[in-house]
Amino acid sequence: MGQNVRRRLRPLIALALAPVLAGCFASGGGTDAAGDAQDGSRLRVALAFPPAENLSPYGADSTILSRLGVTEGLTALDANGTAAPALAAFWQQENDRTWLFTLREATFQDGSAVTPAAVATALTHATQAKPVPAALSGVTLTAKAEGSTGVRITTEDPDPVLPLRLTSPALAVFSGKAYGTQDKVDPVGTATGPFELTKVMGATAATLDRYDDYWGGRAQATGIDVKFVPDGTARASALRTDQVDLAEAIPVAQAATLDKATREVTATTRTTSLLLNTEKGAFKDAALRAAARRAVDTSAFANGVYEGYADAGAGIYGPAVTWAAGKRTEPVGRAEPGKPEGTRITLATYDNRPELPEAAQVLKQQLEKAGFEVTLEVREYSRLESDALDGRFDAFVLARNTLVDTGDPVSVLASDYTCDGGYNIAQLCDKDVDRAVAKAEGTADTAERQDAAMAAEARILGTDAVVPLVHQRIITGVAASVRGALLDPYERTLVGVGTRR
């Protein structure tokens, strides 16, 4: 029945809304079914980003939890970018605003059952989070239990991609014990995935044990020992010296130091961009934003900084979103470039992705050549995010996976570039942009939704609030002994039931 549901949904949300991917997520020899192999060793993993928000599922930390196999939502994003069953075994659309999700039999890691009431409570907490999770930007929904297995979700306005939206790591389901206060969610021992978070050592390390009662079968690794290692050179060295089994985000400058067999390159939907603060400071002036955009030479990033592991920036969506290039139109409403004449600006970025400081240094040189006076500020991401979201920098270099939040390309536009967006680092509030994004959000037909998304992209690019620099390919270090690492273009997964060494 679930397969029939997904076939009915595909005309709305499937192939054209996501990149066409070569192969599947599994690497390093594929994934065996759980239980087909004897228990393996614990996995040692080096992650680039320490928790920035105490592992709250509602922000950037949500992908830490999903990549480690801790959390799940009602649905999951499959290799084709389609909404697939997760905690919901199947679903049906009752009308343009209402969907009924039927739960599978599952338990939380604290032993309690995954019930409709528990799921409704979890989703209600997500809708009340401040700031709102990016996946819910511009969306108002209510979730209510229906009988012993059903969860009915109603949206204020029609939402044709709701099952895809619910794949977001930020909409993971936790047991009631997780919600101590309105603003805090404790993921330790309260999620539903194959690995249970048992201990968090601040921003340095975490310990996970296998959850033996996972509905999808027992994981082959007995647990995971995680180190948060912001320094990319250190991550590469840890893999090279057999201190870790998996190391994410290997710097391109370090790729050659690893054996070819341990380098996995994944085309992603990640775009690195220059974001300009449109609310205050120098770049409140559209003419100065246009001057900054004109100063940028994107080829210097793709061929220089990223050493060929990227494509020059073409738009908010890159070539991994295969339909975008053929539908892209010229930016709408761009201002004429002004003269910087020594205008002082602060440019910020973070060093968890090691190419970003170098990219920012190149940008500094390009902007100074155009007449700006640039102060560069580089910090670790968790020490930078709140200031960036508060608009305390004139310019910001961000690497953003455009499909990570929901798998729907419209969602990133709503969260990053609308007046009420929860991840609006550019502080953009433009009525024409909001109208264009709202039109895209309300469009159900696949081809028409794509067209509307690209029309909204043209409006956003026309403000010069964002200057796309490159579209990235990510290098993951995978030890030769590891099988079943989950490397996907959305960067939501890394370790799963079949990952082992």
- The answer on pLDDT for 277 being more than 90 is yes
275: nearest Cα among 441, 129, 400: 400
Fold of 268-472: Dipeptide-binding Protein; domain 3 (3.10.105)
Phi-psi region of 97 (alpha: psi -120 to 50; beta: other; left: phi over 0): alpha
pTM: 0.78
Please list, in sequence order, all residues whose beta carbon lies within 8 angstroms of the beta carbon of residue 260, skipping any fewer than 6 positions away.
Answer: none
Return the CATH superfamily for domain 2-227+480-486. Answer: Periplasmic binding protein-like II (3.40.190.10)
- First vs last C-alpha separation in the chain: 35
Return the SS3 of 281: coil
Task: Render pLDDT for 442-482 as a digit per residue (tens, 0 to 9).
Answer: 888 888 999 999 999 999 999 999 999 999 999 999 999 99
Work out whether the CA dihedral 13, 17, 23, 27 comes out positive or negative.
negative
Task: Render pLDDT for 231-244 as a digit per residue (tens, 0 to 9).
Answer: 999 999 999 999 99
Q: How far is CA 194 from CA 66, 107, 214, in A?
A: 11, 11, 5
- The answer on pLDDT for 34 being more than 80 is no
Strand intervals (E) in 363-459: 373-379, 395-401
Question: pLDDT above 90 covers what percent of the chain?
Answer: 77
424: nearest Cα among 400, 384, 391: 391
**CATH 3.10.105.10 region(s) of the chain?**
268-472
Most confident range, picked from 311-325, 404-418, 435-449, 467-481: 467-481
Under the banding of pLDDT at 50, 70 and 90, the label for residue 203 is very high
Query: How is residue 481 written in tokens?
Result: 């002994």
- The answer on pLDDT for 14 being more than 90 is no
Under the banding of pLDDT at 50, 70 and 90, the label for residue 13 is very low
Q: Average pLDDT over the chain, rounded to whole?
A: 90
Task: Render pLDDT for 331-390 as a digit per residue (tens, 0 to 9).
Answer: 999 999 999 999 999 999 999 888 999 999 999 999 999 999 999 999 999 899 999 999
Amino acid at 47: L
The pLDDT of residue 40? 66
Cα atoms found within 13 Å of the Cα of residue 160, Cβ hemisphere only? 21
**CATH 3.40.190.10 region(s) of the chain?**
2-227+480-486
C-alpha–C-alpha distance, residues 423 and 62, integer Å: 14
Q: How many CB atoms lie within 10 A of CB 42?
A: 16
C-alpha–C-alpha distance, residues 406 and 404, integer Å: 6
